[in-house]
Chain A
């Protein structure tokens, strides 16, 4: 039941159809068990149970949506959730760091959007408004910005001017096609689908594999059936592989268009926003000073197309909220190197990548890099020779390859530090760069393995906010030990004195 609004501010509610969207989210979480129940459950009993479950969820969604209120106070947003068990949260405007918006086809049909407000950390977003009319959401975002600026002004900080938002990057269709060709997301999707099918019935994949075989039989059947020559087999196999490859790439392109259609990176005062999408439109924004480490990727395909991709990590990202959509993540899914430099200069006032004072690793870094793969190839060829005779010596061909790739890797891998940034780049054919402002370091570690000690080397690792603990950050290996120590001292001093 609606409560009488309190005195200050106007109490607002969600869109009347919000319950539908809450229900859908709820259903998605229990969808799999429900489907299994309905499909594999025998008799009406299970279907009845599923129905009861769905009804209960619908009831919950209705209650939740009608109980949700928000009110805009002088310097805070007040959110009330629940009818029986009621919580009221006060969120100071100054604490709202990241704003994420998401709207899928259904949202758009109703003219609504989902708004997520995140603060400095924690496990859950401060407020999830599911769902608001687009106009209301726009108004709320504008108001949040205006109020925050006002609060900042009263606190004596200089209020940043509010220029109209400016588009820093826009991806037209041809770029998206390139992105799709490079990213090869189709492969991931197909592999995932394959694994899922496998789980449900292990014999299915074989049946699926039989489909292209049948095509081939239909196409070349008469001849192939009579003359199974090596030539036909090889040609047929190559043809199938080529077809599969083309299909996967096509799928990737379609996926790229689906996810990043009309991608735009915009700067709006001190905020950066990015988003796109064909069916589901996701848009994330964050204050520029919340950006942490930037990741630049340049795979072999990227380099063939002369493109790079730029990602960011944003502080205050909500951990354990694995729905990345609608969070500021991509700054440029694909862009020319020159554009990347322009973006870096515009957003962080950073020098162009090539202008950073890159320094090499230890002169013998490539030997360390090649050692273990080298041992692997030696062992492999020894074992293969033992089992299969002299043919096993072919394994020794791995050695020159190892040396070549290690030298190539050491030739490109560098680190750079100027008075504002620490940067690291590594790779050979596929390359990556990572860049972080020195003020954003959280901790510095100097490490020495027994092998490092023997060859007078050390590695240096830094920690930052919002970094993926398992992903690639900045860990500079194989540094001369004196240089690593000096760098450790400088970085320690620098991050101790930062703000």
Chain B
């Protein structure tokens, strides 16, 4: 089809590195921040009460703030490590900060694709695309944080228009 060169955001979805929507970092920061903040609150607030150091409200605020900070750091690392490549014969995803994985999903094995948008995604023109294969362990691979037009083009391009083949 088209060249293998990486393309910038908003350009035609061709083969190459898929752009990340800038706002996905916000989503990742919030979700990871929450994951850090909850245990920090659970530990911090009772401790502050028990030892009477600071007021529980302040302890909670500090816990949430540091949780968000940690989440932000993690999200930046995650985004820096993350790469999704649209190759002529499939999709290659690299992800993970501590536990890293590289997943290759051949185009010939993609059964159907799905573009999802949450309320925030719609406001920001962002979408995620889900690739479904006939496998069982990796039957569903989600590519988050794509600009909406890229996600839609990818959806159309990944669908195999050839005779149905499920790889059995």
Contacts and interface: CB of A to CB of B under 8 A. Distances in A.
Contacts of B109: 442-443, 495
Interface string B113-144: 00000000000000000000111111101000
Contact of A443 (B89, B98, B104): B104
Given A120-B168, A496-B89, A496-B90, A463 B135 contact: yes
Contact of B90 (A97, A466, A469, A492): A492
A499 B136 contact: no
Interface stretch (A77-85, A304-312, A446-454): A446-454
A467 B137 contact: yes
Given A121-B134, A443-B133, A496-B89, A465 B166 contact: yes
Contacts of B100: 447-448, 453
A419 interface: no
A316 B100 CA distance: 32
A440 B141 CA distance: 18
Contacts of A493: 89
Q: Is the interface of B mostly helix, strand, loop or mixed?
A: mixed
B168 A289 contact: yes
A290 interface: yes
Interface in A475-499: 488, 491-493, 495-499
Contact residues on B (Cβ < 8 Å of other chain), bracket: 20 to 34
B168 A316 contact: yes
Contacts, number: 104
Interface residues of A, number: 39
Interface string A426-460: 00000000000001111111111110010000000
Nearest to A440: B167
A442 B98 contact: no
B13 interface: no
Contacts of B105: 443
B137 A473 contact: yes
A448 B102 CA distance: 9
A442 B101 contact: no
Q: Is the interface of A mostly helix, strand, loop or mixed?
A: mixed
Counting chain A CB atoms within 10 Å of each CB, the highest count among B89, B101, B133, B168 belongs to B168
A449 B168 contact: no
Contacts of A439: 167
B168 A443 contact: no
B117 to A, nearest CB: 25
B32 to A, nearest CB: 18
Contact of A469 (B136, B167, B168): B136
B113 to A, nearest CB: 14
Nearest to A469: B136
B133 A447 contact: no
A488 B133 CA distance: 18
A461 interface: yes
Contacts of B98: 449-450
A496 B102 contact: no
Contacts of A492: 90, 92, 104, 106
A465 B101 contact: no
Contact of B135 (A289, A465, A499): A465
B108 interface: yes
A499 B134 CA distance: 14
B106 A498 contact: yes
A292 interface: yes
B106 A495 contact: yes
Nearest to B168: A315
A499 B167 contact: yes
Nearest to A489: B104
Contacts of A450: 98-99
A343 B58 CA distance: 71
A446 B101 contact: yes
Contacts of B104: 443-445, 488, 491-492, 495-496
A445 B167 CA distance: 17
A183 interface: no
B80 interface: no
Interface of B: 89-90, 92, 98-109, 133-139, 141, 165-168
The 9 closest A-B pairs by CB, nearest first: A442-B135, A463-B135, A315-B168, A496-B89, A496-B106, A492-B104, A446-B102, A463-B138, A447-B101
